[in-house]
Structure 1
């Protein structure tokens, strides 16, 4: 069985929308717009408002199958308070920020975990994190990563990622696939840059990310469109797989191109996304 075949079924569609946990009036709207909502107790909430955010979380009544809760970093007082609040809710998928070692997951037994590799140590630990049985997915983060390096910007002036960010993105993707976990691409902070988001989401699909996180409802359809294959792509994939069946196995020629196992795997991936 290949790494791709061994990955657990991804439980949502491709657009995962962050929502500040201290804004409960936005919870329902965020869930309506996206494939899953990430209720954020960490960066999106001022530390002084985290107690109120936890109260809002425990009072909420959302579909638990489509809710992810981003807690604070392991070992912090906020992390312990977050887990106490989470225990009284039906939500069982947790995003752990600044995950850097398998020991960070110890307190999350019983939860499905999205490990957010957003520091230098976290990116280097991604292979071990991906192999942990409670880890559903890895996600990477550009801004915290650059901050952990002492830098000032993850992108060039033209909006493209600097090499270190691209390296981290690829490293987390590879680690996730090798460890049997999914990979989630990071957010695009420039909300007005729809073209840039579309290009990054299209690239995410092409290289095997399962989803892309976002920070604004207006970004959801751009992400969904990037992950959704066109009718022409679906038809081409079906024709290719039918030709493979007719060929009876092994390498064959189709539409002037050589076709082998990896090419057929690409076609099956298109049909899964359809």
Structure 2
């Protein structure tokens, strides 16, 4: 008896998958063309195409400063989250760790706790330790949200790694540092890169936490877009969204290429 799905079921699966993809991509496809609208209004139909709003992002000091801030804060948060998340994943892979499940759940809590709760708590804490309205404070706040993505990604790479590889290296006289650098790190590098991409994208997109911990000098692109929508909607918001989406896709593509190269290098000849 054949286990292949019937034509009707396959058609239903294709239609359902196409509907899901359309539901996810339609809002993006609707807003991105407006970045090239010459009109001052964010609506259809597009009268004529122009790059004036991309020039606005370059010439307007507020927009330019917000883009620079996002790159600085996003890069810092990504580095912090990648380092700490990788170390946490390495520690959590020990099945004999006391209260391992509770610790793992604690690390993943920022993914489910509302950003408003984190923002209020960090605002109170930063006021006491002197990190309020500082770049470092915003980086640390964003890294709290980014660390869970790195832990999940690196943990997946560690779960797929054969532990006997490390034991074999140790039995041949390699120090723990050398084992990590020559054996463990190359294997988990794809997971680290994937987690770093998610961390950077999360930092770029974060608004609520930034409103609580950032000062006027740390206004990010996402926060500026949020303020522009509240004050005066213009196609400059669509142009900024276009740059964020295209930039994230380019980084994801680069990471995918690097993962492919690293996996190809690890395969035996």
Please confirm whether the aligned pair reaches a TM-score higher than 0.5, indicating the same fold. Answer: no
Please, what TM-score do these two structures have when normalized by structure 1? 0.23
Tell me: higher relative CO, structure 1 or 2? Use CA pairs within 8 A at least 6 residues apart. 2
Higher helix content, 1 or 2: 2
**Larger relative strand fraction:** 1
TM-score, L = length of structure 2: 0.23
